[in-house]
Amino acid sequence: MNHFEHSRRQFIQTCGGGAAALYLGGCATSGPVVSDQPRTAEDFAIEGVNRARWPELADVAIGRMRRVRADYGDIRLIESRVQRVVARDRRIDDLSDSIDAGYGIRVLLHGAWGFAAGSVFSADGIRETTDHAIKVAKASATLMQKGVRLANEPVHRASVVTPFTIDPFTVPLDEKCALLIDTSERLHERKGIAQSRGFLWAQRDLKYFASTEGSAIDFNLLATGGGFGATAVGDDGFESRHFQLPYLRMGYEQVEAADFAGQAPFVADQAVEKLLAKTPAPGQYDLVLDPEHLALTIHETCGHPSELDRALGYEANFAGTSFLTPDKLGRLRYGSEHVSLVADNTQARGLASTGFDDDGVACQRWPIVDQGKFAGYSTSREVATRIGEPRSRGSCRADSWASVPIVRIANVGLEPGGKTLEGLIADVRNGILIGGMGSFSIDQRRYNFQFGGDCFWEIKNGRRGAMLKNVIYQGITPQFWAACDGVADRDHRRQYGFITCGKGQPMQSGWMTHAASHARFRDASVIHAGVGGAI
């Protein structure tokens, strides 16, 4: 997961948005203010996003690709709607509702890819964009060594809908604003809190996928998320604490169940408590990590290195490669026998659980690490054939109509063990319990990592003690997972997800969920990162 600042690029690549489209409203117009030229019909597109016509428009693209005898082609027509409510310091800082609609057309011609995206929903617009994609593929074909071959996939005709109880877009905005302002007020009630932030987020994607092979899949996908945090300022600096509502494929019911009002006093208290907390001496500690924290650890140290495109060098110029090279598949000991990491894109509520990926491949469940042994990759139809796998794992996704599908981390989760949190702590003489996500950084092959957290407590002789701060641990991926000697049971399991996993050029924001129960890691290196410490 990366965050970058290229502002222009971000606009071009990552607008979000999409919903109930209006079609050809007849709005009265009056004289222009800025320009005195007469307004002409050409200023406005005539045809809007009419979803009833999508299969027909898709046929226009598919027909043109078949005519040039493309090896393969597909089109995704998408309308996305994103709503964000952001509160800061007792007030609403941002209220936005975005609709973003368009289509991406991908063509494989003579073993080379072309992709073009546009947003004019007319047969002419589709034709022009398809022809441009074909022109781009012809340019690519001049630069191929081996060429692309796709793994086989059955033809699918299906419809996918995210189950939900409450549609977040039907919840009145004033109710959402009131919830966040009330949460903020409760945070600021605590003396010492200087800053607060809260947000609610929802996205709906309506998508139609069609391929030259005959697949036609209709999607109605929903996701929600939110959270809040507070920063306390004291004589010696400032500290923050956060509450995260996971990004999941479900409705507003998760906001209603989360009880922001009830959580806020604890978050505020802990931010203030953290100001006075001790920084542990650098050294070796046993760590007990909570599910929210592990979601990030799993993402960075297991999710990314098990993307096959990275292992094959596709991301060498940007996100990086992987220490899990194909020669290690089925051979490398990645962790202890307690460590089974399973990719599950069929998991309920998981962000990558979309029924089918953007290659039109059915979502699946498969092992990444099986009882400590490296067992599998996340793949696409393109990269699966490069290592002789007969079928894609179906983990190839694009972040919008304007982006090309790429291999993405699946919903990779840590399989539950048989312990309880108390049991994990009871066997620790000198350790630290870490909750939530903090600073993170990892090398481009995913060996040398470093993680912080949101909250920390010392563990002394089997008991949880006082709060700590400035805890940063560092390790080498296979050594760290080899030191895992216990995982809590299924009752402790929670899902946390990401919608900002940066990968690809132009960069795309990937979505996936990582479920885990608490787990224990022996003898980890905690380094000094406090004021005057590291520097």
Smaller CB separation from another protein, 203 or 411: 203
**Among the listed residues 56, 63, 66, 139, the single contact to another protein using CB under 8 A:** 139
Smaller CB separation from another protein, 158 or 173: 173
Q: Does 169 bind another protein (CB under 8 A)?
A: no
Q: Does 388 bind another protein (CB under 8 A)?
A: no
- Beta partners for residue 200, in sequence order: 85, 226
Which residues in the 240-299 window bind another protein by CB under 8 A?
A: none
CB of 34 vs another protein, minimal distance in Å: 4
Cα(288)–Cα(376) distance, rounded to whole angstroms?
Answer: 27
Smaller CB separation from another protein, 3 or 69: 3
Which residues in the 109-128 window bind another protein by CB under 8 A?
A: 112-119, 121, 125, 128
CB of 350 vs another protein, minimal distance in Å: 26
Smaller CB separation from another protein, 236 or 491: 236
Cβ(209)–Cβ(221) under 8 Å? no
Angle (nearest 5°) at CA 393 between 390 and 395: 140
**Among the listed residues 74, 140, 302, 356, the single contact to another protein using CB under 8 A:** 140
**Among the listed residues 161, 194, 348, 426, the single contact to another protein using CB under 8 A:** 194
**Among the listed residues 214, 265, 313, 462, the single contact to another protein using CB under 8 A:** 313
**Among the listed residues 195, 336, 371, 420, the single contact to another protein using CB under 8 A:** 195
**Among the listed residues 156, 445, 493, 494, the single contact to another protein using CB under 8 A:** 445
Smaller CB separation from another protein, 363 or 434: 434
Which residues in the 314-343 window bind another protein by CB under 8 A?
A: 314-318, 320, 323
Find the DSSP H helices in 47-193.
54-67, 123-141, 173-189
Cβ(84)–Cβ(201) under 8 Å? yes
CB of 186 vs another protein, minimal distance in Å: 16
Work out whether the CA dihedral 217, 402, 304, 225 comes out positive or negative.
negative
Smaller CB separation from another protein, 85 or 425: 85
Q: Does 174 bind another protein (CB under 8 A)?
A: yes
CB of 140 vs another protein, minimal distance in Å: 4
362 three-state secondary structure: strand
Q: Does 530 bind another protein (CB under 8 A)?
A: yes
Which residues in the 85-104 window bind another protein by CB under 8 A?
A: 90-92, 94-102
Smaller CB separation from another protein, 147 or 154: 147
Beta strands in 299-364 (DSSP E): 341-344
Here the tokens at position 187 are 């945070």
Q: Does 26 bind another protein (CB under 8 A)?
A: yes
Smaller CB separation from another protein, 160 or 181: 181
Which residues in the 344-373 window bind another protein by CB under 8 A?
A: none
With CB under 8 A, what is the number of residues at the site for another protein?
A: 126
**Among the listed residues 216, 402, 410, 428, the single contact to another protein using CB under 8 A:** 402
Q: Does 170 bind another protein (CB under 8 A)?
A: no
**Among the listed residues 470, 509, 513, 517, the single contact to another protein using CB under 8 A:** 470
Cα(371)–Cα(394) distance, rounded to whole angstroms?
Answer: 23
**Which helix (H) or strand (E) is 350 found in, with range?**
none
Smaller CB separation from another protein, 172 or 390: 172
Cβ(208)–Cβ(217) under 8 Å? yes
Please spell the DSSP secondary structure of 450-512, one letter per residue: EE--SEEEEEETTEEEEEE--EEEEEEHHHHHHTEEEEB-GGG-EEEEEEEEEETTTTEEEEE
Residue 124 sits at φ, ψ, to 5 deg, of: -65, -45
Which residues in the 492-511 window bind another protein by CB under 8 A?
A: 504-506
Angle (nearest 5°) at CA 350 between 348 and 356: 90
Beta strands in 363-422 (DSSP E): 365-370, 373-374, 396-397, 406-407, 412-414
CB of 346 vs another protein, minimal distance in Å: 28
Distances (CA, A) of 126 to 63, 66, 75: 11, 14, 10
**Among the listed residues 58, 65, 75, 137, the single contact to another protein using CB under 8 A:** 137
CB of 265 vs another protein, minimal distance in Å: 21
Residue type (1 letter), 156: H
198 dihedral zone (left: phi>0; alpha: psi -120 to 50; beta): beta
**Among the listed residues 70, 78, 133, 179, the single contact to another protein using CB under 8 A:** 133
Smaller CB separation from another protein, 306 or 517: 306
Beta strands in 266-306 (DSSP E): 283-289
CB of 180 vs another protein, minimal distance in Å: 10
Question: Going residue by residue from 40 to 69, which x/- string records binding to another protein, judged by CB under 8 A?
Answer: x--xxxxxxx--------------------
Within its chain, how far is the Cα of 405 from the centroid?
Answer: 14
Smaller CB separation from another protein, 141 or 166: 141
Of 143-151, 346-354, 355-363, 416-424: span binding another protein (CB under 8 A) = 143-151
Long-range CB contacts for residues 3-9, cutoff 8 Å, separation at least 24: 3/500, 3/502, 4/502, 4/507, 6/507, 9/506, 9/507
Strands 448-451 and 157-161: unpaired
DSSP code at position 88: E
198 three-state secondary structure: strand
Cβ(425)–Cβ(464) under 8 Å? yes
CB of 40 vs another protein, minimal distance in Å: 8
